[in-house]
């Protein structure tokens, strides 16, 4: 990872957060391999290199307020907590929300809030955000999330069904622009119309 990722703050965060405590017991021996791992409920914890690439692409600053959608077991939230001032996670699977809250609490991280909800809706009550990161892939980009982003904000997301690309979005002169960073493979971003932010 060190050869490709240049942001030292991102590299330091990976050294500080123990990945093995965010995966099931049977996956702990593989926790530090550079690959995704199952965390139950047809979800995965993402490949470390891809996560690092996403974090570096967002150009995170210590004062930032950030939203992660599809926060799973909370690993990326923990990394973000060392890089940003306030971190919000949204996860559809209620059991993963409970698990991530407990793990984050055990690590003593105080600047993270995790909500149970539909990631397609974001979390408007805590908006606007400096950055938004999607850790699961919608088939098509949910444009309503852009409304929760500050005018100078960045959003990064894997997009696609069978073939996925990692897109970075930003606003220029009132218009949204995007670029493709690389091909990726994420679990689908599931939708649940019955769940809305409190």
Q: Which residues are catalytic?
A: 46
Strand, helix or coil for residue 136: coil
With beta carbons less than 8 A apart as the criterion, state whether 88 and 115 touch: yes
| CA distances in angstroms from 51 to 37, 79, 98, 108, listed in the order given | 13, 10, 22, 22
Q: Say how far apart CA 194 and CA 181 lie, in whole Å.
A: 33
Cis ω on the peptide bond leading into residue 128 (within 30° of 0)? Answer: yes
> Exposed, middle or buried, 60 (CB in 10 Å: 0-12/13-18/19+)?
buried
Strand, helix or coil for residue 80: helix
Q: Say how far apart CA 57 and CA 71 lie, in whole Å.
A: 18
């Amino acid at each position: 990872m060190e050869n490709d990722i240049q942001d030292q703050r991102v590299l330091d965060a990976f050294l500080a957060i123990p990945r093995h405590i965010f995966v099931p017991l049977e996956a702990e021996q593989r926790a530090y391999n550079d690959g995704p791992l199952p965390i139950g409920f047809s979800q995965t914890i993402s490949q470390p290199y891809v996560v690092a690439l996403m974090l570096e692409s967002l150009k995170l600053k210590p004062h930032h307020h950030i939203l992660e959608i599809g926060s799973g077991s909370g690993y990326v939230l923990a990394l973000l907590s060392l890089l940003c001032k306030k971190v919000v996670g949204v996860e559809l699977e209620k059991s993963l929300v409970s698990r991530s809250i407990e793990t984050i609490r055990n690590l003593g991280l105080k600047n993270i809030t995790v909500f149970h909800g539909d990631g397609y809706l974001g979390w408007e009550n805590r908006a606007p955000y400096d950055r938004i990161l999607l850790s699961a892939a919608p088939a098509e980009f949910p444009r309503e999330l852009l409304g929760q982003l500050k005018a100078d904000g960045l959003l990064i997301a894997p997009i696609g069904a069978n073939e996925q690309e990692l897109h970075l979005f930003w606003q220029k002169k009132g218009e949204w622009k995007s670029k493709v960073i690389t091909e990726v493979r994420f679990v689908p971003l599931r939708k649940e119309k019955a769940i809305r932010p409190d």
